Amino acid sequence: MSIAVRNLVKKYGDTAAIDDISFDVKTGEILGFLGPNGAGKTTTMKIITCYMPPTSGTVEVDGLDTAAASLEVRRKIGYLPEMNPLYLDMNVIDYLEYSAQLHGLRGGAMQHRIKEMVHVCGLEDVRHKDIGELSKGYRQRVGLAQSMIHDPEVLIMDEPTSGLDPNQIAEIRALIRQLGRAKTVVLSTHILSEVQATCDRVLIIHEGKIVANGTPAQLQHDFQGADTITLELKTGGADPLNAVAPRIRSVGAVSNVTLLADADGHSTFEVHADKGTDVREALFRTAVAEGWVVLEMHRRATTLEEVFHKLTTA
């Protein structure tokens, strides 16, 4: 099962919410779909799930065109939209039965699937309560259960962990990783740590255009700025500004040194080096030569948050 998006455009009047984007998602892959509010993420998801037509371009799910075979595509997709569509006056079990029947499940197969989703989504304690009585977190779990009730081959999830507490988020992340082994998953979220913990690949969209596409590690490497190292030394009373910092600055490829803290003979520096260089060995050798004790040295990688900020702010 795969998703193929080609030259997709969606316009509202003269405004292009999506502006000629193309990408693929393979079976067994979890794609993190990122972008600021209004970037076009939800619009793209609605087109993939056949909730709205594009202005131009095509989307294929398992080789089926969403425009020509909408019903067949919908059968293959589980969709959790950002605004969770729940009937608040129904209890959890009745709602899941209703959702299962819409997907053609009946009898023992339906009851088995409902029981499984209640367990997987942690709904045992509230399964007989009306949805309107539930907290936002539990309502989100009900929405997850309905999106997976028919065991779809493709899962499209828009902010799936919205409203969940940290323990629930960890459980849902684990569930998504498990599902992603055999399914095609597209996950939209504003929680970038969630993307790093869950997704195989990241696609960033900004103002309707794709501005980055790659694994989290690739994006962090590609957009790495100056190399930054935190260095904590025990210098035996040497003046950190006038004796230690200039010696560190003399190491090849080091561009700047900042003293972060100095107390009780321990000095902490932030060392900036040219992009693509690794000066840790040279710093260590310099410390040994000067008789300093290295208490800590670690290299700070560019975070996904920094990549996102760099690509989505103009």
CATH number at residue 282: 3.30.70.1340
State the alpha helices, DSSP H only, in the chain: 41-48, 70-76, 92-102, 107-120, 136-148, 166-179, 192-198, 216-222, 245-249, 280-290, 304-312
pLDDT digits 0-9 by tens, 194-205 = 888 889 999 999
Token pair 């009851």 in the structure block, residue = 111
277 shares a domain with 194: no
pLDDT above 90 coverage of the chain, percent = 64
pLDDT at 48 over 60: yes
Q: Is the pLDDT of residue 1 over 60?
A: no
Taking the model in full, what pTM does it have? 0.78
Please state the domain count of the chain: 2
> How far apart are alpha carbons 165 and 39 in whole angstroms?
27
**Claim to verify: residue 54 and residue 183 sit in the same structural domain:** yes
* Mean of pLDDT over the chain: 90
Do 135 and 266 sit in the same domain of this protein?
A: no
The per-residue pLDDT for 49 is 93
SS3 231: strand
Q: Are 103 and 61 part of one and the same domain?
A: yes
Report yes or no on 222 lying in a domain. no
Residues 205 and 269 in one domain: no
By the 8 A CB rule, do 59 and 47 touch?
Answer: yes
Confidence of residue 218 (pLDDT cuts 50, 70, 90): confident
Q: Are residues 175 and 109 in the same domain?
A: yes
Are 156 and 187 within one domain? Answer: yes
Q: Which of 216, 239, 272 is the last residue of a domain?
A: 216
Residue 98's CATH number: 3.40.50.300
Please tell me whether residues 138 and 256 are part of one structural domain: no
Whether residue 178 is found in the same domain as residue 231: no
Give the structural domain span for 294: 227-307
Question: Of 191, 216, 241, which residue is a domain's last?
Answer: 216
- Residue 130, CB half-sphere, CA atoms under 13 Å: how many? 6
Per-residue pLDDT of 53-107, as tens digits, reads 999 999 999 999 999 999 999 999 999 988 888 999 999 999 999 999 999 999 9
Query: Do 184 and 233 belong to one domain?
Result: no
Judge whether 97 lies within some domain.
yes
Residues 169, 104, single domain; the answer is yes
Q: What's the Cα-to-Cα distance from 170 to each of 116, 140, 161, 193, 308, rounded to whole Å?
A: 19, 14, 9, 11, 23
